């Protein structure tokens, strides 16, 4: 199956700093990448959709200036959490899609903001 | 307003028996459905999918059934194995509208040896 990687897997940062999370499709070119957030014991919530070379589309309630998404190539998307606060602590998961159907997910990144 | 619901938060099954996970949806525009398996602190793993033009899709031990009139789908795992213990999410999308996934709340499956 298609492989999607995320880096880092875990990150701890101080309040007010920015954190960048990378998402890569390793064996396919992803026309679209997605960023999700999962709170403990809850489902995945879509944050934004990004297509290579264009601006990301953010879901309602997600601050685009706080969660910066860059989809620089068909195999790489980055999510930068700017001026992180403790309430941003969460599990962030990316997914990548080739074509129009199945999304393949990365392993996730656990962000802890102190 | 949850468009995709998994009403059973957990399910316990004996090894070797059948596991049946259920999912209901309200949006009649959904035309593509997927099941994902997820372990704690990991990303979801794609299991199986079904298009709305079908009512059944089978892949090894996994079979997904779709009942469009009831807006209901189910995942059957047979025989269940202890390694199947995980959280299972169903997801739905509208193919010609961006194909964004809407996830259910998940069902935790525990397969006992």
What does the alpha-carbon distance between residue B111 and residue B82 come to, in Å, rounded to a whole number? 5
Nearest Cβ partner for B43 among A97, A101, A106: A106
Q: Which two tokens stand for residue A4?
A: 């999607």
Q: So what's the pLDDT on residue B1?
A: 67
Looking at residue B33, what is its pLDDT? Answer: 95
pLDDT surpasses 70 at A100? no
Nearest C-alpha in B relative to A111 = B41
**How many other C-beta atoms lie within 10 A of the C-beta of residue B113?**
7
Residues B4 and A8: their CA atoms lie apart, in Å, by: 31
Residues 6+ apart with CB under 8 A from A55: none
pLDDT at A55: 86
Band of pLDDT at residue B53, cut at 50, 70 and 90: very high
Contact residues for A22 (Cβ-Cβ < 8 A; gap 6+)? A6, A7, A76, A77, A78
Q: What is the pLDDT of residues A1-25, one digit of tens each?
A: 688 999 999 999 999 999 999 999 9
User: Which residues of chain A neighbour B99 with C-beta distances below 8 Å?
Assistant: 97, 100-101
Q: Do B103 and A44 touch (CB under 8 A)?
A: yes
Per-chain mean pLDDT for chain A: 91
Average pLDDT of span A29-43: 88
Q: How many CB atoms neighbour CB B69 within 10 A?
A: 5
Touching check for B89 and chain A: CB below 8 Å? Answer: yes
Whether pLDDT at A28 is above 80: yes
Mean pLDDT score across all residues of chain B: 94
The label of the residue with tokens 């492989």 reads A3
A28 neighbors A102 (Cβ within 8 angstroms): no
CA distance B78 to B30: 27
């Amino acid at each position: 199956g298609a492989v999607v990687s995320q880096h880092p897997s875990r990150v701890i940062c101080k309040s007010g700093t920015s954190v960048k999370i990378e998402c890569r499709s390793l064996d396919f070119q992803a026309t679209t990448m997605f960023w999700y957030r999962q709170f403990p014991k809850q489902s995945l919530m879509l944050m934004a959709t990004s297509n290579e070379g264009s601006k990301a589309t953010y879901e309602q309630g997600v601050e685009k200036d706080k969660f910066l998404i860059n989809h620089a190539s068909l195999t790489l998307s980055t999510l930068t959490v700017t001026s992180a606060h403790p309430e941003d602590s969460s599990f962030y998961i990316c997914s990548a899609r080739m074509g129009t159907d199945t999304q393949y997910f990365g392993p996730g990144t656990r962000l802890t903001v102190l | 307003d949850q468009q995709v619901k998994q009403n059973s938060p957990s399910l316990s099954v004996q090894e070797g028996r059948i596991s049946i996970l259920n999912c209901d949806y309200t949006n009649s525009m959904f035309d593509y459905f997927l099941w994902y398996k997820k372990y704690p602190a990991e990303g979801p793993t794609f299991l199986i999918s079904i298009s709305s033009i079908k009512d059944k899709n089978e892949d090894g031990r996994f079979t997904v059934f779709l009942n469009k009139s009831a807006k209901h789908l189910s995942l059957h795992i047979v025989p269940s194995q202890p390694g199947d213990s995980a959280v299972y999410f169903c997801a739905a999308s509208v193919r010609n509208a961006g194909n964004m996934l809407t996830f259910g709340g998940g069902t935790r499956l525990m397969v006992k040896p």
